[in-house]
A and B are shown apart, each in its own frame.
Chain A
Amino acid sequence: MSSLPRAIDLKLIGCQACGLVLDNQHQHRDARCPRCEARVYSRKPDSLARSWAYLIAATILYIPANLLPIMLTTKMYNTESSTIVSGVIELWQSGAWDLAVIVFTASVVVPILKIVLLTFLLLSAQLRSTWRQRERTRLYRVIEYIGHWSMLDVFVVALLITLVHFHKLALVQAGPGIIAFGAVVVLTMLASMSFDPRLIWDTKEPDQRPPQNG
């Protein structure tokens, strides 16, 4: 499969905005489409670096997201703060195991899965692994798809804050954890967006055939 020519091999580049095909003999970093002035690149520039940056940031923020309370619930003069995990445990203990599973999946499994899988994809792309490239590409699509669902928890909190507002009787406030968690979700989404799945197929060194006319 790898013997099949890629656009990059043919020194061709397509403008992402207007579809103009350009000759990319020189492989300039800051090339622009002469027609629509959109940036043209055969691979997303600094894709791996960007992805790594977002991913590391997301991983860092995932720690406070889980440790800090995401929600402060005031019921009858008694304020309780709940983190993501404590909320799940509480749901489970109160018998709503179905809800607990949903929240657990959306708020714990998905972000962790995303971070782990992205790390795997980034590592394998960086090492130019030829192992199961097709599956890895599919995996990337899955990651992109499930990424949005992580925002479930953020939406739940946002909804509760606006809905439950009965002063001393019942009051829900956002905790600092939800900000971190929201940032994690956004950062993982950015990380997956920054990743160029075409890199999965770039198993040969780009410098293997340096542009002679450059």
Chain B
Amino acid sequence: MPISESPDNTPSLPTPEVKRPARGSLSLIWLVPLVAALAGLILIVRSVVQAGPTITITFETAEGLEADKTEVKYKDVVIGKVQALALSEDRSHVVVTVDLNKSASNVAVEDTRFWVERPRIGLGGISGISTLLSGAYLGVDIGTSTESREAFVGLEKPPSIAHDLKGRRFSLHTDDANSLTIGSPVYFRKMPVGRITAADLDVDGKGVTVQIFINAPYDKFVNTGTRFWNASGVDLTLNAAGLKVSTQSVATVFAGGIAFQSYNEEDPSQPAKENAEFTLFSDQATALAPPDGIGIEIRMVFGQSTRGLTVGSPVDFRGITLGVVKSIQIDYDADKRDFFTNVDAEMYPQRMGPAYSTLLKTQQQLGLGPEDMVALLVSHGLRAQMRTGNLLTGQSYVSLDVIPTAKPVKFDADARPLLIPTAPGNLEEVQAQIQSIVRKLNAIPFDKIGNNLHETLRSANGVFKQLDQDLAPQAKKMLDEAQHTLQSLDQNLASPDAPLQQNAGRTLEQVDSAARSLRGLADYLEKHPESLLRGKAENPEPPADAGKGSTP
């Protein structure tokens, strides 16, 4: 059917009205893909812009870490995510690639530290409990440096001190760590005020440097005069007052710790600067001892055995420990063909306290150096002696003492170390005396004396024998005769018929009558004393009663 016919076939068909719509442009539809493209672009741009730096962190192990899952959190805010885990080329480490958020782009700076947060149980408490459920995450301690960095070495343990914690760091030097570990507390008046952040051997291996961090505001208590000491373990003191047990806290018994106190509480010194260096003393008593000042190296040469003397033995001046023995070495004197022992020690003259300052004053007046002071003392008889400090253990110590009777010696004040003359110790002196006695005793000719004595005794024996043979019979005869004589004497004197006896009796009777007449005479003379002058009266006076009546 031809198309031209169609209008004729349908003449009644209405035609559509034409109404131009207000919005005519059909191209508006292209806004849809435009908006979509814009939205997609925004999303992509945002993800590109939001993508912060990618950093790598090396860890010993990737325990608990998962690519695309493990998050990086700072103060529990997610600032990144682990993108990949890989072994290092030498397979000694794990390299963790982390995508940080844009907002956390300033996290990756020089001194930022990363660690894997896992549940940890330590003496300081339990941490990371939430990771038990959520799995490990990477912890961050954002540094303060402005230099950015891309490769980091992760910590195996969380740092004990975060960067944003206020306080100050100090370095302590000590001989050995003595159970101090990172995280051990620092006490001030038995209050925990800080922590040990690092403990490392010195480069030369001769000591340990312990880094501590004192939290603000307690850091102001650390001043230049502060003394630090190791408060680890239990301090047992046995003195005249009895047994004393002291410890900072139960934790220090197991985990160790450091305590500090100002040396002179009354005189606060300047506050210590950040990273100031201090000496860590082994105990409180040592720490609070008077300041040591400058140590003087001294050497003492002992001719005798140094048994009982060890490195660390005290050098003592009248009971005050002035220093310690640093080394003991035996040496050989080729000229004298004798061994001798070099004992090197470090001496702190300032420990002498007021005595030192007095000496120093006199010296300064004289314009002398500290060595000259020692020279002066030596000239006054300062001698080093080895003495036994403990009879049970045989421990010895070096005693410096002024012995006025000591022989004068030459002293070189320029020698390093200073050579202190030695004197034999008390025990050695006694030993020497005993030795000389023994030597004298040795000189006595006991053999000859013995021989002489033997001969003497033999001749005496001969004499006695002779006496026995010749003298004894005669003596017996003599005794018999004597007995005979005595018997005849007895007969003459003792028997009643003996003439001597009768004569004696008669004589005694006559003596008796003589005595009676003497008594009569005495009585008469008593009554008539005048008869001595007038002789015997014719008429004897009446008896005594007549004389009585005449008297008035």
Which of the 9-residue segments A59-67, A94-102, A108-116 touches chain B? A59-67
Q: Name the residue on B nearest A176 (C-beta).
A: B43
Q: Are A54 and B14 in contact (CB under 8 A)?
A: no
Report the Cα distance A46→B27, complex, angstroms. Answer: 9
Taking the closest CB of chain B, its distance from the CB of A78, in whole angstroms, is 4
Q: Are A58 and B26 in contact (CB under 8 A)?
A: no
Q: Are A25 and B43 in contact (CB under 8 A)?
A: no
Known: A28-B18, A64-B43. A56 touches B29 (CB 8 A): no
Q: Are A61 and B36 in contact (CB under 8 A)?
A: yes
23 contacts between A and B (CB under 8 A): A12-B6, A22-B13, A22-B15, A22-B16, A23-B7, A23-B13, A23-B15, A25-B15, A26-B15, A30-B19, A30-B21, A31-B18, A32-B17, A34-B17, A35-B14, A50-B29, A53-B33, A63-B44, A64-B44, A78-B69, A79-B78, A180-B39, A209-B3
Report the Cα distance A52→B26, complex, angstroms. Answer: 13
Contact surface of A with B, Cβ cutoff 8 Å: 5, 9-13, 20-26, 28, 30-35, 37, 40, 45-46, 49-50, 52-54, 56-58, 60-61, 63-64, 67-68, 76-80, 176, 180, 183, 187, 209, 212-213
Taking the closest CB of chain B, its distance from the CB of A21, in whole angstroms, is 6
Q: Are A30 and B32 in contact (CB under 8 A)?
A: no
- B177-191 interface bits toward A, Cβ cutoff 8 Å, 1 = contact, 0 = none: 000000000000000
Q: Name the one of A26, A31, A57 contacting B37, with C-beta atoms under 8 angstroms.
A: A57
In the bound complex, residues from chain A placing their C-beta under 8 Å from that of B40 are: 60-61, 63-64, 180
Q: Is B332 an interface residue (CB 8 A)?
A: no
Taking the closest CB of chain B, its distance from the CB of A143, in whole angstroms, is 19
User: For chain B residues 45-67, which have a beta carbon within 8 Å of chain A?
Assistant: 47
Report the Cα distance A194→B51, complex, angstroms. Answer: 38
Taking the closest CB of chain B, its distance from the CB of A13, in whole angstroms, is 7
Known: A9-B3, A11-B7, A49-B26. A21 touches B13 (CB 8 A): yes
Q: Is B501 an interface residue (CB 8 A)?
A: no
Taking the closest CB of chain A, its distance from the CB of B64, in whole angstroms, is 12
Report the Cα distance A167→B6, complex, angstroms. Answer: 73
Q: Are B26 and A76 in contact (CB under 8 A)?
A: no
In the bound complex, residues from chain B placing their C-beta under 8 Å from that of A49 are: 26-27, 29-30
In the bound complex, residues from chain B placing their C-beta under 8 Å from that of A60 are: 33, 36-37, 39-40
In the bound complex, residues from chain B placing their C-beta under 8 Å from that of A23 are: 7, 10, 13-15
Q: Residue among B3, B20, B27, B36 with the most chain A CB within 10 A?
A: B36
By size class, the interface of chain B is 35 or more
Known: A77-B134, A187-B36. A31 touches B16 (CB 8 A): yes
Known: A11-B3, A11-B7. A57 touches B18 (CB 8 A): no
Q: Are A78 and B133 in contact (CB under 8 A)?
A: yes
Q: Is B135 an interface residue (CB 8 A)?
A: yes
Taking the closest CB of chain A, its distance from the CB of B93, in whole angstroms, is 26
Q: Residue among B13, B16, B32, B39 with the most chain A CB within 10 A?
A: B16
Report the Cα distance A5→B34, complex, angstroms. Answer: 39
Report the Cα distance A28→B37, complex, angstroms. Answer: 33
Q: Name the one of A56, A80, A180 contacting B69, with C-beta atoms under 8 angstroms.
A: A80
Taking the closest CB of chain B, its distance from the CB of A150, in whole angstroms, is 16
Q: Is B35 an interface residue (CB 8 A)?
A: yes
Q: Name the one of A13, A25, A28, A57 contacting B36, with C-beta atoms under 8 angstroms.
A: A57
Report the Cα distance A35→B29, complex, angstroms. Answer: 28
Q: Are B30 and A34 in contact (CB under 8 A)?
A: no
Report the Cα distance A176→B44, complex, angstroms. Answer: 12
Taking the closest CB of chain B, its distance from the CB of A101, in whole angstroms, is 24
In the bound complex, residues from chain B placing their C-beta under 8 Å from that of A12 are: 6, 10, 13
Q: Name the residue on B nearest A74 (C-beta).
A: B134
In the bound complex, residues from chain B placing their C-beta under 8 Å from that of A68 are: 43, 47
| Further pairs besides A24-B15, A26-B15: 11, Cβ < 8 Å | A10-B6, A23-B10, A32-B17, A33-B17, A34-B14, A35-B14, A53-B30, A64-B44, A67-B47, A78-B69, A209-B3
Q: Name the residue on A nearest B13 (C-beta).
A: A23
Report the Cα distance A40→B134, complex, angstroms. Answer: 62
Q: Are A25 and B7 in contact (CB under 8 A)?
A: yes
Q: Are A57 and B32 in contact (CB under 8 A)?
A: yes
List of 6 A-B pairs having minimum Cβ-Cβ separation, nearest first: A57-B36, A31-B16, A77-B134, A78-B134, A57-B33, A76-B133
In the bound complex, residues from chain B placing their C-beta under 8 Å from that of A77 are: 130, 133-134
Report the Cα distance A28→B6, complex, angstroms. Answer: 18
Q: Name the one of B16, B33, B78, B130 contacting A32, with C-beta atoms under 8 angstroms.
A: B16
Taking the closest CB of chain B, its distance from the CB of A73, in whole angstroms, is 12
Report the Cα distance A58→B17, complex, angstroms. Answer: 36
Q: Are B135 and A78 in contact (CB under 8 A)?
A: yes
Taking the closest CB of chain B, its distance from the CB of A165, in whole angstroms, is 19
In the bound complex, residues from chain B placing their C-beta under 8 Å from that of A11 are: 3, 6-7
Q: Name the residue on A nearest B9 (C-beta).
A: A10
Q: Are B18 and A54 in contact (CB under 8 A)?
A: no
Q: Are B16 and A54 in contact (CB under 8 A)?
A: no
Report the Cα distance A35→B217, complex, angstroms. Answer: 89
Report the Cα distance A104→B12, complex, angstroms. Answer: 57
